[in-house]
Amino acid sequence: MSDELDDFRRSLRGFLARVSPESEVRRLMADPVGFEPSTWQRMAVELGLPGVAIPETYGGQGFGGAESRLVFEELGRVLYGGPYFATVALGAELLLRLGDERACAEWLPRIADGYLRTAVALRGDLRARTGADGAWVLDGTAPHVVDAGAASLLLVVARTADGVDVLAVDPAEEGVTVTPSPVLDPTRRQAVVRFDGVRARRLGRPGQASAVAARVRDQAMVALAAEQTGGAARALELTVEHASSREQFGRPVGGFQAVKHLCAERLLDVESMRSLVFAVDDTRDDDAFAVQARTVRAFCSEAYFRVTATAVQVHGGIGFTWEHPIGLYFKRAKSSELLFDGPATQREELADRLLTAR
Residues of the chain with CATH 1.10.540.10: 3-112
d(CA 114, CA 271): 33
User: Over the stretch 294-327, which tens digit does the pLDDT of each residue have?
Assistant: 999 999 999 999 999 999 988 887 767 777 899 9
Q: What is the pLDDT of residues 202-226, one digit of tens each?
A: 999 999 999 999 999 999 999 999 9
For 28-80, how does the pLDDT look when each residue is reduced to its tens digit (9 = 90+)?
A: 998 888 899 999 999 999 999 999 999 999 999 988 888 999 999 999 999 99
Residue 26 pLDDT: 93
CATH 1.20.140.10 fits 210-357, yes or no: yes
Q: pLDDT at position 17, please?
A: 94
pLDDT in tens, 163-177: 999 999 999 999 999
Separation between Cα atoms, residue 86 and residue 276, nearest integer Å: 23
**Whether the predicted pLDDT of 1 surpasses 70:** no
Nearest to 166 by CA among 178, 156, 154, 177: 156
- Asked whether the beta carbons of 333 and 305 are under 8 A apart, the reply is yes
Band of the pLDDT at 249, cuts 50, 70, 90? Answer: low
Whole-number pLDDT of residue 114: 94
Residues whose CB is less than 8 angstroms from the CB of residue 74 and which lie 6 or more positions away in sequence, other chains included: 9, 12, 13, 16, 230
**Residue 255 confidence class, pLDDT cut points 50, 70, 90:** low
Q: What are phi and psi for residue 283, nearest 5 degrees?
A: -85, -5
Give the torsion through C-alpha atoms of 289, 148, 323, 19, to 10 deg.
80
User: Per-residue pLDDT tens for 271-293?
Assistant: 999 999 999 998 889 889 999 99
Check pLDDT > 60 for residue 337.
yes
Report the run of H or E that residue 298 belongs to, with start and end.
Answer: helix 286-315
pLDDT computed for residue 226 by the predictor? 97
Question: What are the residue ranges of CATH 1.20.140.10 in the chain?
Answer: 210-357
* β-strand partners of 43: none
Alpha-carbon separation of residue 308 from 14, 60, 235, 241, 328 (angstroms): 24, 35, 6, 14, 9
AA identity, residue 262 = L
Is the predicted pLDDT of residue 245 greater than 80, yes or no? Answer: no
* CATH fold of the domain at 118-207: Butyryl-CoA Dehydrogenase, subunit A; domain 2 (2.40.110)
> Shortest CA distance to 128 belongs to which of 99, 160, 167, 86?
160
At the fourth CATH level, the homologous superfamily of domain 3-112 is Acyl-CoA dehydrogenase/oxidase, N-terminal domain (1.10.540.10)
Q: Please, where in the chain does CATH 2.40.110.10 lie?
A: 118-207
Does residue 256 carry a pLDDT above 70?
no
Q: 347 phi and psi, to 5 degrees?
A: -70, -35
Dihedral angle computed from the Cα positions of residues 7, 113, 329 and 217, in that order, rounded to the nearest 10 degrees: -100
The pairing of strands 125-130 and 190-203 is unpaired
Compute CA distances 4 → 55, 67, 71, 320, whole Å: 19, 10, 13, 39
State how far the Cα of 198 lies from the Cα of 220, in Å rounded to an integer: 27
Beta bridge mates, 247:
252
pLDDT in tens, 123-182: 989 999 998 777 899 999 999 999 999 999 999 999 999 999 999 999 999 999 999 999
pLDDT band at 250 (very low <50, low <70, confident <90, very high): low
